């Protein structure tokens, strides 16, 4: 087995470690609200999220294709296995730092930041290594950081907050109308009946959230593995593979995601989700705003809808951003004074810092590897 092939297998291993960490780091995004409202126990919620993550990860590959072929210009810089290890390690380090601090930062942006930072370092500071913007006749086919990262990074939090406000506002208006109508409508609009109904409904919204999380987050690592394999194929690393590794040969054109990659990443993310992420759950579910079942349903449904739409268009949207801002919107609509803005300020700083921090870490790792002669 050649050194290059060993390094490729190391990339796949590190990518799956990132996927596993992404699973437990972002478990909170799927289940924080359903745990906070006491609709499900933490163990029940984790099992639900893991199962739905698995199904969501198997539902498509549009986001994976963005990561594998839509952000880095491989005509300017060769993305070798060594570069991808640095990119993934930068994202992993930042994820672990924010997990330890209990901050719901974005694993998506950690991965994107790591990939971009490593690519720039590999290109010796040439920023043309990144695809900034490529337009097509149909805007949904546009590529580049502007369309696939910056635009959703700005729009998804705004959409999450707005949908959270609109949804909980609509529910409260309906309940108020029913209460004013008198009779049986007034009786079923009382808090006890409302909590009972939305307690059941929140199980469905939590499942929807877990599915949406899988459709977006699990695919990012699929894209990294596909990028590594296509790079290895182009470099001749996969020539003369032993039979037990023949599955590594890509079956399609660059950007396509092989079935074994999809299934492997889906299973690993589900395993990571099952491990839980209680520090972040505490921040999202308890510290930002007090939640009731109706609030959790509104926040989860709003966030999951944003993620599902984004995944359809291949946008690697942050699950963290969408659910956090949806919770903010719900809390704000009910009582602006009830929202704990100091906690939200910490979360926003984590959002702002994630891409440059992960990118800086990956850039430093590439430079360190180059100084030691490991990277050319």
Give backbone dihedrals phi and psi of 373, rounded to 5 degrees, phi first.
Answer: 80, 10
What pLDDT shows up at residue 10?
A: 92
What pLDDT shows up at residue 9?
A: 92
What pLDDT shows up at residue 27?
A: 65
- What is the rounded distance in angstroms from the CA atom of residue 156 to the CA atom of residue 168? 18
Q: What angle do CA 251, 255, 259 make, to 5 degrees?
A: 45
Are 206 and 34 in contact, with CB atoms under 8 Å apart?
Answer: yes
88 is written with which tokens? 């993934």
Residue of 195, 160, 161 lying closest to 175 (CA atoms):
195
Listed in sequence order, the residues at least 6 apart from 109 whose beta carbon sits closer than 8 Å to its beta carbon are 149, 153, 318, 351, 354, 355, 358
Q: What is the mean pLDDT of each run of 10 residues along the chain (376 residues)?
A: 87 89 70 76 80 85 82 88 92 86 77 93 94 79 84 87 93 88 80 86 90 84 88 86 86 78 87 67 54 86 91 82 85 80 73 91 96 86
What pLDDT shows up at residue 152?
A: 85
Are 289 and 340 in contact, with CB atoms under 8 Å apart?
Answer: yes
64 is written with which tokens? 């994976």
Task: List, in sequence order, every residue forming a beta bridge with 130; answer none if it has no partner.
Answer: 72
What pLDDT shows up at residue 60?
A: 79
Burial of 177 (0-12, 13-18, 19+ CB in 10 A): exposed
What pLDDT shows up at residue 184?
A: 78
For the residues of 72-132, what is the DSSP string, one character each?
A: B-TTTS---HHHHHHHHHHHHHHHHHHHHHT----HHHHHHHHHHHHHHHHTTT-GGGB--
Establish how many alpha carbons lie within 13 A of residue 226's alpha carbon, considering only the half-sphere containing its beta carbon: 29
For residue 134, what is the enclosing H or E element? Answer: none
Buried b (16+ CB within 10 A) or exposed e, 142-176: bbbbebbbebbbeebbebbbebbbebbeebeeebe
């Amino acid at each position: 087995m050649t050194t290059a092939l060993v390094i490729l297998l190391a990339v796949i291993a590190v990518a799956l470690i990132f996927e596993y960490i992404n699973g437990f780091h972002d478990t909170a995004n799927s289940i924080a609200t359903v745990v906070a409202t006491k609709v499900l126990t933490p163990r029940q919620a984790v099992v639900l999220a893991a199962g739905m993550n698995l199904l969501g990860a198997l539902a498509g590959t549009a986001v994976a294709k963005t990561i594998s072929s839509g952000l880095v210009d491989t005509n300017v810089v060769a993305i070798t296995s060594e570069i991808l290890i640095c990119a993934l390690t930068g994202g992993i380090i930042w994820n672990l730092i924010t997990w330890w601090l209990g901050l719901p930062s974005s694993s998506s942006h950690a991965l994107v930041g790591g990939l971009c930072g490593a690519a720039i370092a590999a290109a010796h500071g040439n920023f043309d290594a990144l695809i900034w913007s490529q337009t097509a006749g149909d805007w949904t086919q546009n590529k580049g950081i502007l369309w696939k990262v910056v635009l959703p990074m700005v729009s998804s939090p705004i959409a999450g907050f707005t949908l959270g406000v609109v949804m909980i506002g609509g529910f409260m208006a309906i309940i108020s109308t029913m209460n004013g109508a008198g009779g049986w409508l007034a009786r079923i609009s009382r808090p006890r009946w409302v909590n009972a109904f939305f307690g059941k409904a929140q199980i469905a919204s939590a499942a929807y959230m877990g599915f949406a999380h899988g459709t977006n987050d699990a695919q990012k690592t699929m894209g990294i593995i596909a990028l590594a394999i296509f790079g290895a194929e182009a470099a001749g690393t996969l020539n003369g593979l032993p039979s037990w590794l023949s599955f590594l040969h890509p079956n399609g054109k660059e950007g396509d995601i092989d079935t074994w990659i999809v299934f492997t990443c889906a299973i690993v993310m589900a395993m990571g989700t099952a491990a839980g992420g209680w520090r972040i759950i505490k921040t999202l579910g308890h510290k930002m705003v007090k939640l009731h079942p109706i609030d959790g349903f509104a926040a989860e449904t709003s966030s999951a809808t944003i993620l599902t739409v984004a995944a359809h268009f291949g946008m690697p949207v942050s699950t963290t951003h969408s659910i956090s801002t949806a919770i903010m919107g719900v809390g704000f609509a009910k009582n602006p004074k009830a929202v704990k803005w100091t906690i939200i300020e910490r979360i926003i700083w984590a959002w702002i810092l994630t891409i440059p921090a992960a990118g800086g870490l990956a850039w430093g790792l590439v430079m360190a590897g180059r100084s030691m002669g490991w990277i050319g």
